[in-house]
Amino acid sequence: MVTEFYVPKMSDHMEEGTFVEWLVDEGDAVDKGQPILVIDTDKVVAEVEAPASGFLTGIRPGLVDGASISIGVTVAFIVDDLSEDVPALEELGAPPPEPESPPVAEATQSARVAEGATTSVRPDGGGPIRATPAARKAARELGVDLSSVSGTGPRGRVSESDVQRLAAQAAPAQPGLAGDGEEGWLELTQVQKVTARRMVESVTEVPQFSLTQRLDMFAVVAARDAVAADGRSKPSVTAFLVQAVASALSDHPRVNGFYRDGRIEINSGINIGVAFGTDAGLYVPVIHNADRLSVEEISEELAQLQALANGDGFSSSDLEGGTFTLSNLGMYGIDEFRAIVNPPQAAILATGRIWKDTSVASDGEISVRDLITATVTADHRSLDGVAVAEFLASISTCIGNVDSGIGGAG
């Protein structure tokens, strides 16, 4: 039997990998599941496992260090018997003259683990995960998978602060309230510990201020009703808020940026973390590239996240990469509240319930409107009152301009 061995898709965005090395030689016996090839995706150095047991043969020529291999391209065969014929593979295209060096790791990067592959973060291109003992200890305590952390230290070494930063992505914007316990002690869950630590760090290290504005939700309510009338399921209010925030952030990149060492690091992606309550504590899973999604797509993702919150729990990739956080407690009947900034993010939006109030228009006409109270808390090191006021105004505009027909991308 002849089994094709090809480069599998190993992360959501993976199109191709870069050849690093074979772990076995032509003609070697391999066992199913044995790592036999190392490739470098843009974020992960991965060992690709043999799909079958047998002998490796027919290796595609041109697989040299730095060569690009598209996913799905057969690179060799695994045969039961070396006497079996296999097709001769064409030589792979020459590698680019200057293979890209591994990208500088960023806290917002995610490392994705693909089926059928074991992965490790190797920004330097070799060896097991590099991490300081303190980072390993922190990862243990915080329940963080080290392989999901991008190291910022020398040669990609994961530091304690890298782990804490990643853990912070998983931390909620609000400290979780411990349930009613019996007399004695109630242990914090790992997530609650992270929350506790990160919130203390936030209030001690980040100078914060808050601005509050009422948003007119008339258009949102109308859009939801329209969708429902269409027989489709209604996008959630949160989905509309995410979309509006994403749209506003695209106009205000400072709000989407991180304050670091006296400068503002601008994030290319607009990834909105949304606070979710679970029994284990509050999580902030992320809607990645929310500015490119329709409100229905956002709503669907939120529903999926809610299912994860109720069920299997979030994977590290669900929790990584947030650039802004939304905490909506409207469904709990909260009128309004102020959240705490979730570092290194620059700002967080806290929203309460939708309530009806009379509104007097400029022409004196009195009407009943659907309102929501939105409070943005911001890092005063990178944002000032005017910037946040303008950002809130953008949200207000976006939320007011929701297309009542389809809720299309704003």
Residues at the interface with another protein (CB under 8 A):
132-137, 153-154, 159-160
Smallest distance from the beta carbon of 373 to another protein, in angstroms?
43
Smallest distance from the beta carbon of 137 to another protein, in angstroms?
4
Inter-CA distances, 32 with 2, 28, 48, 79, 116, Å: 13, 13, 11, 12, 10
* β-bridge partners, 48: 37, 117
Sheet order of strands, 68-70 included: 68-70, 16-22, 35-40, 45-49, 117-120
Residue with tokens 């808390």: 377
Do residues 388 and 378 make contact, with C-beta atoms less than 8 angstroms apart?
yes
State the greatest distance between any 2 C-alpha atoms of the chain, in Å, as a whole number: 90
Smallest distance from the beta carbon of 133 to another protein, in angstroms?
4
Q: Specify the residue, 136 or 380, whose C-beta has the smaller distance to another protein.
A: 136
Smallest distance from the beta carbon of 281 to another protein, in angstroms?
24
Q: Specify the residue, 136 or 381, whose C-beta has the smaller distance to another protein.
A: 136
Question: At 283, which amino acid appears?
Answer: Y
Residue with tokens 């020529």: 61
CA pair distance 347, 330, nearest whole angstrom: 19
Nearest to 388 by CA among 399, 402, 374: 374
Which token pair is 27? 């003609």
Smallest distance from the beta carbon of 260 to another protein, in angstroms?
16
Smallest distance from the beta carbon of 95 to another protein, in angstroms?
31
Smallest distance from the beta carbon of 196 to another protein, in angstroms?
20
Q: Specify the residue, 95 or 153, whose C-beta has the smaller distance to another protein.
A: 153
Smallest distance from the beta carbon of 161 to another protein, in angstroms?
9
Dihedrals phi, psi of 53, to nearest 5 degrees = -90, 150
Q: Specify the residue, 133 or 333, whose C-beta has the smaller distance to another protein.
A: 133
Q: Specify the residue, 25 or 261, whose C-beta has the smaller distance to another protein.
A: 261
CA pair distance 44, 49, nearest whole angstrom: 15
Q: Specify the residue, 136 or 193, whose C-beta has the smaller distance to another protein.
A: 136
CA geometry: angle at 289 spanning 287 and 295, to 5°?
A: 65
Q: Specify the residue, 47 or 160, whose C-beta has the smaller distance to another protein.
A: 160
Residues 6+ away with beta carbon under 8 Å from 85: none
Nearest to 370 by CA among 261, 221, 223: 221
CA pair distance 400, 303, nearest whole angstrom: 24
Do residues 339 and 375 make contact, with C-beta atoms less than 8 angstroms apart?
yes
Smallest distance from the beta carbon of 158 to another protein, in angstroms?
11
Q: Specify the residue, 133 or 231, whose C-beta has the smaller distance to another protein.
A: 133
CA pair distance 41, 22, nearest whole angstrom: 15
CA pair distance 288, 317, nearest whole angstrom: 10
Q: Specify the residue, 194 or 319, whose C-beta has the smaller distance to another protein.
A: 194
Smallest distance from the beta carbon of 157 to another protein, in angstroms?
8
Q: Specify the residue, 104 or 134, whose C-beta has the smaller distance to another protein.
A: 134
The DSSP H or E segment spanning 255 is none
